[in-house]
Amino acid sequence: MKGAGPVGGSAKPKRRRAAGAALGHEHVRRRPSAWAQAREKASRGEASGGCLILLAAMAAAVGFAFMVMTWGSELWGDTAPAWPGNGYGFAAAVGAVLPLGLATVIVTLDRMKWRTSPLRSLGWVLASLPGVAACFLWAVVVFATFRPRHHRDWGSACHSRGNPCWVHVEYPYVWAVGLLSTVLVAAALITVLVRIANAHEKTPSA
């Protein structure tokens, strides 16, 4: 019975040491690791970058709407009537601009290799700007012909020279002409690209 005392007394410090070790292990767990800190910083950077992209997109949308309301009406009111073929010739030219602009953007941006040649890639980005401008011009001209949804909103402003209602009255088949031009030019470009690709495949490598 006397030996039970030391055994019982020696068990208490062991429990204290075990509890202390568990608390220390829990404290180590709660301490953020370097990987977690890096992920947190990256998430903050992505959030700030996303905010900048959102602000840039909103600014671009506002600028585009302003261009449609001002420049678009001037193009249809002044440029289209003086164009060869009047408004229909203008619509055909604008319809051809879209596939040409997209082809320019795709061909130039496909040649970019930022890791191996950043300067040359920057040159290809600059070479793609005319294609981007062509697509932007197409969008401005097309969106400038959108009439308000409700007929009650087709007032004098809509029927004034160069505005959507005026365009549809003067050139009622403008949509058909522009769409046909886009389809024909796109088909021609695809045919040319396919023939070029086939020619490259048939050419024997040195």
pLDDT digits (tens, 9 = 90+) for 85-133: 999 999 999 999 999 999 888 888 877 777 777 778 788 888 888 888 8
- 120-168, pLDDT tens digit by residue? 878 888 888 888 888 888 988 998 898 888 888 788 888 899 899 999 9
For the record, the structure tokens of 166 come out as 């005026």
Reply yes or no on whether the pLDDT at 2 is more than 70. Answer: no
Mean residue pLDDT of the chain comes to 76
Range with the largest mean pLDDT of 23-37, 64-78, 148-162: 148-162
pLDDT of residue 27: 47
**How much is the pLDDT for 56?**
61
Integer Cα distance of 170 and 155 in angstroms: 16
The whole-number pLDDT of residue 57 equals: 60
| pLDDT score at 60 | 61
Give the whole-number percent of the chain exceeding pLDDT 70.
65
pLDDT-above-90 percentage for the chain: 28
The b-or-e profile of 148-157 (16+ CB within 10 A means b, else e) is: eeeeeeeeee
Radius of gyration of the chain (CA): 34
Amino acid 41: pLDDT: 52
CA-CA distance, 133 to 167, in Å (whole number)? 23
Given this model, what pLDDT does residue 156 score? 85
Q: What is the pLDDT of residue 177?
A: 95
First to last CA, the chain: 98
pLDDT the model gives residue 43: 54
